[in-house]
Amino acid sequence: MPSRVAVIVWRDVLVLCDDGRSVVSDYAELFEIGNELHRCHPHGWGLLIIIPPNATPPSDAVRQAINDTLVNAQASLRGVTWAIEADGFQGAMARAVLAGMRFLTSTPYPRNVCTSIDDSLSWLMPLLPGGERRLDDLAELHGFIATRRDALTRFQTSLRSPVPSAE
């Protein structure tokens, strides 16, 4: 599993938290996760991408890897939503870039940009098999994301922190 992208899978929802430090090889692994979700959920699955406040834009190579991964997944991908957690200018800029992408490119699945995880999930869940009744899963999914994300953040921080010397 990629160490630079927090990956959470809950039933038919894939959650990625990408702060822009990802590399192309991370998306090769995510490509495989998408294939597995397609095998397990051939009637469709959803993708939530969380962009944290400290995020930086991905490199051109990573952006291409992201696009390639999404193209590969489009057979069973029911919707993609981004939750932009930054506020102020940085958040507005990220939302504008993603909104522009929505208008300039065409996909067989709907896309959405929100300012919170709750809004993103409220938009995404009815698109999945089961429709509107999937909104009943929101509290469970939100709690699942929160606990896993906290643990993954602590793990990733420890990977990035220098190891203290044993003097």
The pLDDT confidence band at residue 156, using thresholds 50, 70 and 90, is low
User: Which among 150, 118, 114 has a CA at the least distance from the CA of 137?
Assistant: 118
- Neighbouring CB atoms inside 10 A of 101's CB total 15
What is the Cα–Cα distance from 95 to 113, expressed in whole angstroms? 7
For residue 49, the model assigns a pLDDT of: 94
Q: Is 1's pLDDT higher than 80?
A: no
Q: Is 55's pLDDT higher than 90?
A: no
Residue range 50-69: mean pLDDT, rounded: 88
Longest dimension (CA), the chain: 59
Q: What is the pTM of this model?
A: 0.86
Out of 16-20, 26-30, 52-56, 129-133, the most confident range is: 129-133
